[in-house]
Amino acid sequence: MPAHKIALIPGDGIGVDVTDATMQVLQAAAAKHGFALAPTRFDWSCETYLATGRMMPEDGIDQLRAFDAIFLGAVGWPATVPDSVSLHGLLLPIRKAFDQYANIRPHRLLPGVEGPLKASGFDILCIRENTEGEYSGAGGRVHQGRDNEVAVESAIFTRKGVERILRFGFEQARARRGHLTSVTKSNAQKYSMVFWDEVTTELAADYPDVTVSHMHIDAMAAKMVMAPQDLDVVVASNLFGDILTDLGAAIQGGLGFAASANICPDRSAPSMFEPVHGSAPDIAGRNIANPIAAIWSGAMMLEHLGEGVAASAILTAVQAVTARGIGIRPGSHGTDAITAAIMEELA
Ligand code: IPM
Ligand code: MN
């Protein structure tokens, strides 16, 4: 029986709650569909940082490299470790080290879930550049604390980076409804974003079957509220994609439903799957967190591992559960009850 080796990093807060829920569901799906999952748990978290001075060991990236995929719950416990330390010590280095340049986030309403909008028939796939751009980490500070203090943070856009994320978007659009919206701010940012627009136009020639729209990020924010049903695949830079996918989460009913995959498309390194929500310290360990975003991310992981039938079965089960009104409103059902209902549907 093929066994997929999974690195599990529950991380902090509700990351632990939803990782446990997800693994129950994934293991049940594996047993039913004739494959095995071999998880190895890494207790890398803010607690690890407090005990060792590091979020993960020095060779952490090397330890992860041998796995077929990584599942991550959430990172962050700002009461004891600043987010800028915890995220740059664990989540962000993994995305960069493994060249997980495509961050994919689906936004659509599950049956029974009422979002805040009148529109309900939208199905958006946001693709966020995940390794460079505004989050490249290039910059510095001088004269700290003095009145001549300077902070510089450079957004870096390379031809390789921009081309590959756009190609990824074109391919996804081709496999879906054939429409790509490229999001920039080229009316104000006249170097990087004009460059991005040019590359989009160049590549479009290779994808005559895909229609392309160029939109500015500000107009895009409005469009996602006013007419989300007109969107198919949306490609954006790291910062813009980060913001748009929280907006996407909001219109799909909240962060409890927002799944994501950090994909290394050439498969030279493991990809990482995680819900979009964070660690939510205020509700951690209280059986309150909605596990659906994490379980959906887990289904995306199985799909990536070639277990598409099991992945679809999990999504079908999740949809049956929300259609019954379970897990659709904050606080209506606990983590365990939602997970149990999904397991029942799966069986
Ligand atoms: C996300 C998160 C992270 C990001 C933070 C926690 C660094 O907001 O996955 O969207 O911006 O990438
Ligand atoms: Mn975010």
Confidence at residue 77, expressed as pLDDT on a 0 to 100 scale: 98
Half-sphere exposure of 242 (CA within 13 A, CB side): 10
**Cα distances (Å, whole numbers) of residue 154 to 161, 198, 312:** 15, 21, 41
Round to whole Å and give the CA distance between 45 and 57: 11
Confidence at residue 2, expressed as pLDDT on a 0 to 100 scale: 76
Domain borders along the chain are 1-101+262-347
Instruction: Give residue-wise pLDDT tens across range 79-123.
Output: 999 999 999 999 999 999 999 999 999 999 999 999 999 999 999
Confidence at residue 204, expressed as pLDDT on a 0 to 100 scale: 98
Half-sphere exposure of 81 (CA within 13 A, CB side): 27
DSSP 8-class letter at 81:
B
Whether residue 185 lies in the annotated active site: yes
Q: Pick from 14, 46, 83, 87 the residue to mutate for probing ligand 1's pocket: most ligand atoms within 8 Å of its CB.
A: 87
Averaged pLDDT, 245-257: 97
The DSSP annotation for 278-309 comes to ---GGGTTTT-S--HHHHHHHHHHHHHTT-HH
Mean of per-residue pLDDT scores for the chain: 97
Question: Which residues form ligand 1's pocket by a CB distance below 6 Å?
Answer: 87, 242, 276
Exactly one of 20, 230, 246, 336 is catalytic; which is it?
Answer: 246
Instruction: Give residue-wise pLDDT tens across range 200-213.
Output: 999 999 999 999 99
Averaged pLDDT, 10-36: 98
Task: Answer yes or no: are the C-beta atoms of 157 and 190 closer than 8 Å.
Answer: no
Confidence at residue 67, expressed as pLDDT on a 0 to 100 scale: 98
Round to whole Å and give the CA distance between 199 and 184: 12
Round to whole Å and give the CA distance between 257 and 7: 23
Does residue 86 come out as left (phi exceeding 0), alpha (psi in the -120 to 50 range) or beta?
alpha
Confidence at residue 193, expressed as pLDDT on a 0 to 100 scale: 98
Instruction: Give residue-wise pLDDT tens across range 107-163.
Output: 999 999 999 999 999 999 999 999 999 999 999 999 999 999 999 999 999 999 999
**Cα distances (Å, whole numbers) of residue 303 to 60, 232, 298, 307, 313:** 25, 20, 9, 5, 11
Amino acid at 192: S
Q: Is the pLDDT of residue 300 over 90?
A: yes
Helix (H, G, I), strand (E, B) or coil at 266: coil
Round to whole Å and give the CA distance between 160 and 167: 11
Identify the residue whose C-alpha is closest to ligand 1 atom 4. 242
Averaged pLDDT, 254-272: 98
Name the superfamily (CATH) of residues 1-101+262-347: Isopropylmalate Dehydrogenase (3.40.718.10)
Q: Tell me the angle at which helices 14-33 and 335-346 cross, rounded to the nearest 10 degrees.
A: 10
Identify the residue whose C-alpha is closest to ligand 1 atom 12. 242
Provide the pairing of β-strand 150-156 with 133-142: antiparallel
The atom of ligand 1 lying closest to the CA of 246 is 10
Q: Pick from 84, 91, 260 the residue to mutate for probing ligand 1's pocket: most ligand atoms within 8 Å of its CB.
A: 91
Q: Is 112 exposed, middle or buried (CB count within 10 Å of its CB: 0-12, 13-18, 19+)? A: middle
